[in-house]
Structure formats: C-alpha cells, structure tokens
Amino acid sequence: MMSFLAHIVTWLNVPLNAAGKLLTAPVAAVPGWLSNTVISAAMGVILLVLWKYTSNQDAIGRVKDDIKANMLALKLFKDSISVTLQAQGRVFKGAGGLLFHAIRPMLVVTVPICLILAQMGLWYQARPLQPGEEALVVMELNGNVDSAWPNVSIASMPAADVIIDQTRVFSKRQIYWKIKARENGLNNIVFQVDNEQVEKELAIGNGFMRVSLQRPGWHWFDILEHPSEKPFGPDSVVQSISIKYPDRLSRTSGTGWWVAYFFVASMVFALIFKPFLKVRI
Amino acid sequence: MVIDSRNKTLKFLLLATLVVLLIPAKAQAYIGPGAGFAFFGSMLTFFYATLSVVFYLLTWPVRYVIRAIRGRRAFVRSRVRKFVVLGLDGMDYALTKEFLEEGKLPNLARLRREGCFKQLATTIPPISPVAWSSFQTGSNPGKHNIFDFLTRDKKSYLPKLSSVDIRDTRRKISLGKYQLPLGKAGIHLLRKSKPFWTTLGEHGIFSSVIRVPITFPPEKFYGVQLSGMCVPDLRGTQGTFSFYTSRSDGSVEHTAGESFTVTRNKNTIKAELIGPPNPFRKDNSVLKCPFVVTIKDEDTVKLTISGNTYTVAKNAYTEWIKLGFKACPGVTVHGICKFLLLSTTPEFELYVTPVNIDPEKPAMPISHPGIFSTYLAKRQGPFATLGLLEDSWALNEKIISDESFIKQSTDADIERRKMFFDSLDKIKRGLCVCVFDGMDRIQHTFWRDIDKQHPANKQRRQNRPRNAIEEIYRRMDDLVGETLDRCKSNDTVLMIISDHGFNSFRCGVDLNRWLEENGYLKLKNDGRNKKNLAGVDWSKTRAFALGLAGIFLNLKGREAQGIVEPENEADSLRDEIITKLTGLTDSAKSNQPVVKQVYNALKVYRGPYKDEAPDLIIGYNKGYRASWETAIGQVTDKIYHENTKAWSGDHCIDRSLVPGVLFCNRRIETKEPRLMDIGPTILDMFGVAVPRYMDGRPLSVADAASRRTDQSE
C-alpha cells in the first residue's frame, strides 16, 4: 500500500513540478509577502469553489440556519433557563452537524492543498546558501547497524568546497559532510556510492530559489513533502540526502511562518469571496 | 450489522476530524482553508454559544432581581402557569354549532364537553381591526381609536389606513438627481391604549404574540411579537399582485394588482418585478427586480431571478423566492414572493404574489424584538409576512383559481402552525397568543359554497362539489387537537376565540348613492364614479360614507370643508339619517329590510377618541354590506349592487348577527362573554389587577379541578 502511494505521489509530482516551476516562476522576482499573498488569495478562492461543489450546501445551509435560530433563541428567551439550555444543546448539535458536513469537502480539499503546499515549501521553507556560507549535507543509508558500509565520496565541484569530509554516525547509518558555497546557481552534488553515482540539488544564490531540502527515499509522505527531486528507489543503498539550508527570516514568507500566513491569508480571501460565490461553509 | 459498521466508521471519521481540528496550528495549516472553514463553521459557533449561555446564566439572578423590583413578583398571585389563546379569525358561532352537532369537529367537541362553548359578543362594527384592537386593549373603540379598516384624511377627505401611518423621512441631503435620506421612515401605530400583554410584562410575565391584527408596527413589551393584519407588502400597499401575460390585451386594470404584457422571444420572456420606490432618487422611481423565464415544455419553465434559477411547474406555487431590489451600491431591499405558472401555450401567463417583506432581513419593523422575525425565518424558513396574505383580489379578478387560492391559505396555516407550536414549546410560563386568519379569508371567498342562492354562483362551473368552509373548519379542528395535546397540564388555560362570525354577502349597498338620493350628498357635474370621494361637492354635502361601516357628517371645524354646524344641526342630522336608514328596504327583494340597526357613535362609544369615529355605524341585515364602491368613496348611479365576486361572505353587518365563539378548557360561568373581556380575564388569571381604563371585565373561569367530563352545554 505504502509503495503504491509512493508511486502515485512520484507520478503526480512530475506534472506538478513542471506546472509549479512555470506558475510560481514570478516568486523569484517579487517580494515574498506579495507572492505568498497572491498565491494564498488564488488558492483561497479555488478551494472555496471546490468546497462548494464537494459539500452538501443545502444541508450546511439548514444546519447553519438552525444554529442561528438557536443562537437567537438564547437571546430572545434568555429569562427561561430551560430554553437557554435546550438552545445551547441544539447549537452544540448543530456545530457537530457542521463538522460532519465538513468531512467530505475537507478530505477532498486536503489532497490538492498538500501538493500545492509542497510546491510552495520549495520557495519559502528555506533560503539558498550564499557564497561563503557553510552547510551540513546528510546522507542516510539503508540497512541496520550491522550492515556493511558502502564506499561513499563526493566528486569535486566548482560550486562548493567540501570543508569537512565524511563523518559517519554508525547508530543512525548516516554520513555527514560540511560544505562551503562558492558560486551562485542551481548545481548538483555528485556522490559516488560504491559503483553507483547519485546526485543531490544544491541551491546557491540570493533572493528566492526553489530549494529542495531533501532528495527523499521511497516513502510516500517524504516524496509528498519534498517533490522537487526524484526519490531514491526502494532497493537503493541511499535512503535520502538532505542539506541543512539556513532558515528564511520573514513573518510572511519565512521558514515556518509562511504556512501560517498562507492559512490565514487564504482563509481571509475565501471569506471575502464567500458571499459573491454564494458558498456556505 | 452493516449499519452498525457504517455508524462506527462514521463516528471514527467524526472523531478523527474533531481531534485534528482541536489540535491547532500546523495540522490545520496543512489542510488549509478546509480546516479553516470547518473551524469557522463549527468551533466558533461552539465557543460563542458557550459564552452566551454562561453570560445569560450568570446574569439571570441579576435580571430576576431587576424584574422583581420593577414589576413586583411575577406569578405570586397567579392562578395559572400558562395561558394560551388561539384566535381563529371569523369562526362563526352558528356554523360551528352546526358542525359540532354533525360530529365534524371532534376536538372542539371535546373542549365543549370538558370546558365550555359560548357565543362571544363582538364589537361595533364587527370588523377584524376593530375587534382585535378591543381584544388586545380590553376596551371599546372609543379608547383604542380603530373604527374600520379605513378612515378619511380630515384635510383632503382621501381614504387612509386607520391603523398605521407611514411617512417618508423628512430630512434628506440633496445630491443632484439623488438624495440621501437621514433617518428612517416614520411608521406610527394609530391604535391607542395599551395591550394587556404590555401590562403583563410590567408584572414580569412573558408573552408571545403571533399575528394578532393591528400590531404593526410592533410595540415594545416583555415578550416577543410578530405583527399581523395591516403589515404592508414591500411596496407599502396592503398587497399588490403581479400578472404577466403575452396576450396583447393583457394590460387591464386590476384592483390590488397589476398586469404586464410581456413579449415572448422564442422560448424566452424577460420581465421585471416592481418593488418599492427608491429612497435614494428624487423622482421616486420604483426599484425593479428583473427576471427571465425560459419555457422548457408545456408544463415547465425555468425562472432566473436575483442570481438563482428555479424550475417552475404549471399550476404549482414555487417555494418562497428571495428577491433583492438594489437601491444603490451596498443597499439592497429584500423581499420574498411566490410564482405560479398559469399557462405557457397558447399564451404565456404567470401570476406572482405580492412581494412580502423578507422576515429574515425585514425592510420594515415587523416583529418585536426585531430579531424575532429573523429567528422564525431561520427556524422554519421564509414565511408570509403580509397582513392579508391570502390574495383574495387575485381570486376576485379571476387571475388565480379557487384551488390556487386555497393553497395559499393552507400554506400560510402550515407556516403559522410551526410558529405557534414553537412558541408553545418555548413558553413554559406566561402567555401565548396566536391568530390564524385563513378561516376568515376562506369564508369571505367561499361562502358561495354553502349559499347556493348566492349571485356568485350564477356563472360558476364547479367540476365537483366542494365545501371549502367545512374543510377549513375541520383543519382548524385538527389544529385545536394538536394544541390540546400540548396544553394537557392542569395549570394551563386554553381559549379558542374568534373576533366575529360570518354571513352571506349577496348585495352591496352604495351608501353614498343613498345619501345622494336623500339629499345629503351632492356630486360635482362630472363627479360620478370617481374614486376616493373626488367627485363630491363638499360645499353642498352634509354626509358621506367611506369604508365598510360608517357615515361621516361633513362637520364644520372638523372636516376641511365642513358645512354642518356641530352645535345646532349635527344631532338632528344624525337622528334623521338613523331614522331613514333604519327603514331602508330593498324593493327588488320583496322589500327586505337592508339595515338592522344604525348606531350613533357618540352613544355607543366612550373614551377620548370617540370623536374620531364615523358619526354613524351601519349594522346591515343578513345578505347586505357596504358596496365595494362605498368602501373606496366612489358614488355610482344605483344603491344596490349584486355581488358576483368570489368574495361572497362577510361580517361587516350588524354585530348581533355575527357573534364570535369562545371555547375554553375550563368552565366559564359568565352568561354573555364579550371579546373585550378576554384581556381582563387573562390579567385576572395571572393575578394582575385589571387597569381601570379597560371596559372588559374578567370572566368567571372555574378552577382546573372542576373540569367537566359530562356533556352539559
């Protein structure tokens, strides 16, 4: 099942990466707050429409009317304790009903939103290395503590220097390198693993670039979260390679914050457009 | 087993979602707006409701103390916990008795057996606005100022509604073609005195008052109220229907309605619904709501209006359709109406009910508090708000069929029933009053069903025998049964009352023509048949009739062009007209007496407003009533007009001929109860002293223990 999901996500990532590169290309050229706001607005409206057509709008309308009626009953008959408690009970029941009616559209909406967030994460979750900056490169290997270790090395490259060569953590089957960025550009680090060559993207530059934090292994969630690079196969010796990029510092488009900003901004835009699109939520 | 397993899955999904939503931040963010929508939709509701309840519960003792200080301690001397008044407008004593004897009203029979069934004396004149005003104030019309549906403007002699005065706001800022009104339109209730539920409220007793006539605009009191008869439609009229037809001769004049000729372009028809005047334009142009009808087949059309599309089947009303009339950017006037497709071929015909004020977003105050109508609309969906909601004029004008009219009435009853039962459920202690007026409308329009000699039956082809009146009596009996089930408690008193009875209306009497023939009224040279008394020569007129029951003297100092001296001439003139009218006979019908009694307002009314009444009130005999023309101040060339309209029954006759009914689940010893005694009785039952201004007296209502089980009435 997990392998099937990994196949599906890998397959979906191909067109999504192509579309993502094309559609989000302007992100590189505009301030982060602006690009995140525009994307959030567009997504808020699109998801609102999706919500409209995947939810039972009539039923939501009925439940909301019932909730409103009982809220008004609280006010109208406030001197009657029995009516107050009864109305509150019905409001709670209505709130539960709304949650129930939200399940289907929420499940439907979750799939595209995860794929889109993964594409956005490439831009906002970290910033590329700047020339002169150092970063850790971590390779995770298959097998257990007793398994044999392959011969691993990094081929020399013009974009970066290896300043601390491989350090092995036997208990975790991980190998660490420290590199120092030299010239701007989207490059590949080439690793020689026994007789096999594997690659990992390395982003060096100023401003916004698509930064792939990890080339994932054969796990559907990792592939979903790191869509940019082709995942390692289930039989590969290498399970994943990640680079510890520096955090992007911004409350609207910085590491960690961008997701929260997206959530709030998309909600706000969805709520603004709700009356025009006649959507009940 | 399958169901169990499904339920478990459902519960698991629900639980999982709840868990996800209750752990905020990152998880929500990854679901994005989906989680946000769910959060906004339910979690905020949950929190708000909890906060509200905590607030209301915490402040309850404070409010209780304030109420106790202000209004003494409620219910301390009360003999009853709950009092329910179910008003059935127009329920006739004689007809009810007949149906009871035939065993057609089992629930009312039970009430008669266990409590009482009596005649209930009505007011002079026995007209709903007058009678229900006396009910609510416990006083005679001289104290509440309502004497008819219509009265005259003393300056212009123009007819005007007697119960409400609606005036546009005077303060406006001029902006070229546009204007900005400052403040709201002035809407004033002309009914004076104080309803008994206001007195109850002052003593801390809560009331729910639904659709009692002459409660528009609603007054403040301790309770909730939905206004009834005399609530206007969105245009400010008492109900104007619209009729769209592709007939070339379609644009004919209708009473209380408008016809529009429309053009059929292949299968598409474009038209507009007329709304209220635009308050932002100086030229008072009306607001319009365009709609498009696309004919699908002979029996179905697609209707697109206010951004929504509906499928409309032939001869079936649509649900209430919400309309928005855009007055200016950001300002929309909301209304509701129903469409009835009458025909698609060979001619297109579409009937639209008067545009009612939307109870959810009322353009005028129709409830107290204002949110009460919103509450009802949210609870049960849109409902009719127009005072006279059954469109009897569309039936009179033969736009809609008998069946379509009856459907309006039954739909309205269903809506009213929901409100009434909700109020019965909500109010554990206090007063519930609800008036159902379908019985009045059905008897007005279908008396021809039971009066086979009625002139309206001459041209009538009825496919199958029907008795709409018996049907509604049975339907109301079912309602009584359901009400009884909800009023089982010994400390609940239930009263079923009506404001008047009914009788046949075969012939209309043009009182103005009679006044003219007897030398009391003079017309201008071209004055005949002009409406609104426009044809009257006031310099030579001593008396004139307007409305359904009254004759006014053209009194000097009171009317703008009065000529009758109040001191020397008025009394003798009154006596003279009374004498002559009382002897009026219909020569075409074997000299049948037309008038049973004429009342001198100065003698029958007491109170500060008796001078506002018509000077003489006519108590017509059975079969007669003021003609349609008299009601609107039009003078014709003959006194008697055969009534061939569907509106075939009436009660605007002598009050002794149309008593109402009083049923109660307890025995009442009083021999001749009156409608104005009901309010004082309720005050007395709740242990509240009856105010001295009330003319009604408490009825002697037996205790719960003495309910009868035998049939002795």
Name which of B589, B569, B645, B581 is nearest B619 in CA terms: B581
Whole-number percent of chain A with pLDDT over 90: 67
| B contacts of A266 (beta carbons < 8 Å) | 32-33, 36
Q: Which two tokens stand for residue B680?
A: 């004082």
CB contact under 8 A, A263 and B29: yes
Q: What is the nearest CA distance from A99 to chain B, expressed in angstroms?
A: 6
Tens digit of pLDDT for each residue in B515-560?
999 999 999 999 999 999 999 999 999 999 999 989 999 999 999 9
Q: Please count the other Cβ atoms lying within 10 Å of the Cβ belonging to residue B506.
A: 24
CB contact under 8 A, A263 and B63: no
Q: Which two tokens stand for residue A219?
A: 């796990």
CB of B683 closer than 8 Å to CB of B79: no
Position A212 in a domain: yes
- Find, in chain A, the residue whose alpha carbon is nearest to that of B10: A100
pLDDT at B52 (0 to 100): 77
The region of weakest confidence among A131-135, A209-213, B27-31, B601-605 is B27-31
- For B34, the closest of A60, A110, A278 (CB atoms) is A110
The region of weakest confidence among A130-139, A252-261, B289-298 is A252-261
Alpha-carbon distance B295 to B639, whole Å? 48
Q: Please count the other Cβ atoms lying within 10 Å of the Cβ belonging to residue B246.
A: 18
| B contacts of A259 (beta carbons < 8 Å) | 26, 29-30
Residue to mutate among B10, B30, B37, with most A CBs inside 10 A, is B37
| A contacts of B375 (beta carbons < 8 Å) | 69, 72-73, 76
Rounded-to-10 torsion of CA B308, B313, B315, B316:
-60
pLDDT at A110 (0 to 100): 83
Whether residues A140 and A183 fall in one domain: yes
CB of B378 closer than 8 Å to CB of B343: no
Name which of B409, B417, B275 is nearest B337 in CA terms: B275
- For A76, the closest of B42, B43, B372 (CB atoms) is B372
CB contact under 8 A, B21 and A99: yes
The region of weakest confidence among A86-95, B6-15, B620-629 is B6-15
CB contact under 8 A, A76 and B224: yes
- For B42, the closest of A74, A78, A95 (CB atoms) is A95
CB of A154 closer than 8 Å to CB of A251: no
Residue B677 identity (one-letter amino acid): D
Q: What is the nearest CA distance from A143 to chain B, expressed in angstroms?
A: 32
Look-up: residue for tokens 């509150």? Answer: A88
Please list the residues that pair with B209 across neighbouring strands. Answer: B225, B433
| B contacts of A114 (beta carbons < 8 Å) | 30
Predicted confidence (pLDDT) at residue B22 exceeds the cutoff of 50? no
Whether residues A145 and A238 fall in one domain: yes
Q: What is the nearest CA distance from A144 to chain B, expressed in angstroms?
A: 32
pLDDT at B2 (0 to 100): 38
| A contacts of B49 (beta carbons < 8 Å) | 70-71, 74, 88, 91-92, 95
Position A188 in a domain: yes
Predicted confidence (pLDDT) at residue B396 exceeds the cutoff of 60? yes
- Provide the number of structural domains found in chain A: 2
Q: What is the nearest CA distance from B17 to chain A, expressed in angstroms?
A: 7
- For B32, the closest of A74, A266, A278 (CB atoms) is A266
Three state DSSP letters for B184-248: CCEEEECCCCCCHHHHHHHCCCCEEEEEECCCCCCCCCCEEEEECCCCCCCCCCCCCEEEEECCC
- A224 at B interface, C-beta within 8 A: no
- For A98, the closest of B25, B42, B64 (CB atoms) is B42
Q: What is the nearest CA distance from B308 to chain A, expressed in angstroms?
A: 10
pLDDT at B711 (0 to 100): 42
Q: Please count the other Cβ atoms lying within 10 Å of the Cβ belonging to residue B214.
A: 28
pLDDT at B1 (0 to 100): 38
Tens digit of pLDDT for each residue in B648-698?
999 999 999 999 999 999 999 999 999 999 999 999 999 999 999 999 999
Domain residue ranges in chain B: 2-71, 233-363, 506-656
CB contact under 8 A, B42 and A91: no
Alpha-carbon distance B403 to B342, whole Å? 12
Alpha-carbon distance A276 to B346, whole Å? 39
Q: What is the mean pLDDT of residues B120-132?
A: 97
Name which of A189, A152, A155, A191 is nearest A173 in CA terms: A152
- Find, in chain A, the residue whose alpha carbon is nearest to that of B429: A80
pLDDT at B4 (0 to 100): 47
Chain A from 166 to 195: CB within 8 A of any B CB: none
Maximum average pLDDT range among B37-46, B76-85, B417-426, B583-592: B417-426
- A105 at B interface, C-beta within 8 A: yes
Please report, in angstroms and rounded to a whole number, the separation of the first and last CA atoms in chain B. Answer: 59
Whether omega for the bond prior to residue A234 falls within 30 degrees of 0, making it cis, is no
Residue B713: band (very low, low, confident or very high) from pLDDT cuts 50, 70, 90: very low
Whether residues A236 and A270 fall in one domain: no
Look-up: residue for tokens 């039971």? Answer: B450
Q: Which two tokens stand for residue A127?
A: 């910033």
Q: What is the mean pLDDT of residues B278-307?
A: 92
Residue to mutate among B45, B60, B319, B332, with most A CBs inside 10 A, is B45
Name which of B415, B440, B493, B485 is nearest B663 in CA terms: B493
- For B49, the closest of A91, A103, A114 (CB atoms) is A91
| A contacts of B28 (beta carbons < 8 Å) | 263
Q: What is the nearest CA distance from B238 to chain A, expressed in angstroms?
A: 29
User: Do β-strands B592-593 and B585-586 pair in parallel, antiparallel, or remain unpaired?
Assistant: antiparallel
Alpha-carbon distance B412 to B437, whole Å? 9
CB of B473 closer than 8 Å to CB of B96: yes
- For A84, the closest of B13, B53, B369 (CB atoms) is B53
Predicted confidence (pLDDT) at residue B494 exceeds the cutoff of 60? yes
Distances (CA, A) of A216 to A2, A186, A227: 14, 18, 8
Whether residues A203 and A266 fall in one domain: no
State the average pLDDT for chain B: 90
Tens digit of pLDDT for each residue in B134-191?
999 999 999 999 999 999 999 999 999 999 888 877 788 888 888 887 777 788 999 9
Higher-pLDDT residue of B241 and B66 is B241
Predicted confidence (pLDDT) at residue B20 exceeds the cutoff of 70? no
CB of B90 closer than 8 Å to CB of B439: yes
- Find, in chain B, the residue whose alpha carbon is nearest to that of A44: B33
User: Do β-strands B257-261 and B241-245 pair in parallel, antiparallel, or remain unpaired?
Assistant: parallel
Predicted confidence (pLDDT) at residue B328 exceeds the cutoff of 90? no
Please list the residues that pair with B139 across neighbouring strands. Answer: none
The region of weakest confidence among A189-198, B39-48, B314-323 is B39-48
pLDDT at B53 (0 to 100): 75
Alpha-carbon distance B345 to B295, whole Å? 10
Whether residues A138 and A161 fall in one domain: yes
Please list the residues that pair with B260 across neighbouring strands. Answer: B244
pLDDT at B66 (0 to 100): 77
- A273 at B interface, C-beta within 8 A: no
Whether residues A99 and A174 fall in one domain: no
Residue A114: band (very low, low, confident or very high) from pLDDT cuts 50, 70, 90: confident
| A contacts of B432 (beta carbons < 8 Å) | none
| A contacts of B21 (beta carbons < 8 Å) | 99
- Find, in chain B, the residue whose alpha carbon is nearest to that of A47: B33
pLDDT at B28 (0 to 100): 45
- Find, in chain A, the residue whose alpha carbon is nearest to that of B42: A95
- For A259, the closest of B26, B36, B379 (CB atoms) is B26
CB of B80 closer than 8 Å to CB of B491: yes
pLDDT at B16 (0 to 100): 54
- Find, in chain B, the residue whose alpha carbon is nearest to that of A79: B60
Distances (CA, A) of A279 to A52, B183, B360, B377: 6, 33, 18, 20
Residue B33: band (very low, low, confident or very high) from pLDDT cuts 50, 70, 90: low
Cβ neighbours of residue B277 closer than 8 Å, sequence gap 6 or more: B284, B285, B286, B287
Whether residues A160 and A225 fall in one domain: yes
- For A105, the closest of B34, B48, B56 (CB atoms) is B34
CB contact under 8 A, A78 and B63: yes
| B contacts of A92 (beta carbons < 8 Å) | 46, 49
Residue B11: band (very low, low, confident or very high) from pLDDT cuts 50, 70, 90: low
- For B33, the closest of A70, A71, A270 (CB atoms) is A270
CB contact under 8 A, A91 and B67: no
Look-up: residue for tokens 């100086």? Answer: B282
Whether omega for the bond prior to residue B217 falls within 30 degrees of 0, making it cis, is yes
CB contact under 8 A, B53 and A99: no
Compute the half-sphere exposure of residue B655: CA atoms within 13 Å on the CB side of its CA: 20
CB of B169 closer than 8 Å to CB of B180: no
Chain A from 36 to 95: CB within 8 A of any B CB: 43-44, 47-48, 51, 60, 64-85, 88, 91-92, 94-95
Largest CA distance in chain B: 95
Alpha-carbon distance B321 to B244, whole Å? 17
Predicted confidence (pLDDT) at residue B21 exceeds the cutoff of 60? no
Whether residues A46 and A140 fall in one domain: no
Please list the residues that pair with B332 across neighbouring strands. Answer: B326
Helices assigned H by DSSP within B536-600: 570-582
pLDDT at B185 (0 to 100): 76
State the average pLDDT for chain A: 91
Q: Could you tell me the residue range of the domain that residue A67 belongs to?
A: 32-125+254-277
Residue B344: band (very low, low, confident or very high) from pLDDT cuts 50, 70, 90: very high
Please report, in angstroms and rounded to a whole number, the separation of the first and last CA atoms in chain A. Answer: 33
Cβ neighbours of residue B50 closer than 8 Å, sequence gap 6 or more: A88
- CA B108, B109, B113, B118 torsion-angle sign: positive
Distances (CA, A) of B298 to B266, B302, B317, B586: 14, 12, 16, 50
Residue B9: band (very low, low, confident or very high) from pLDDT cuts 50, 70, 90: low
Alpha-carbon distance A241 to A198, whole Å? 10
Please list the residues that pair with B450 across neighbouring strands. Answer: none
- 3-state secondary structure (DSSP) of residue B368: strand
CB of B168 closer than 8 Å to CB of B394: no
Indicate the burial class of B243 (C-beta count within 10 angstroms; 0-12, 13-18, 19 or more). buried
A vs B: CB pairs below 8 A: 161
Predicted confidence (pLDDT) at residue B3 exceeds the cutoff of 70? no
Cβ neighbours of residue A49 closer than 8 Å, sequence gap 6 or more: A277, A279
Tens digit of pLDDT for each residue in A12-36?
999 999 999 999 999 999 999 999 9
Helices assigned H by DSSP within B371-460: 371-380, 392-396, 402-426, 438-450
Backbone dihedral angles phi then psi of residue B222, each to the nearest 5 degrees: -85, 90
Whether residues A238 and A141 fall in one domain: yes
- For A98, the closest of B41, B56, B206 (CB atoms) is B41
- For A51, the closest of B34, B60, B206 (CB atoms) is B34
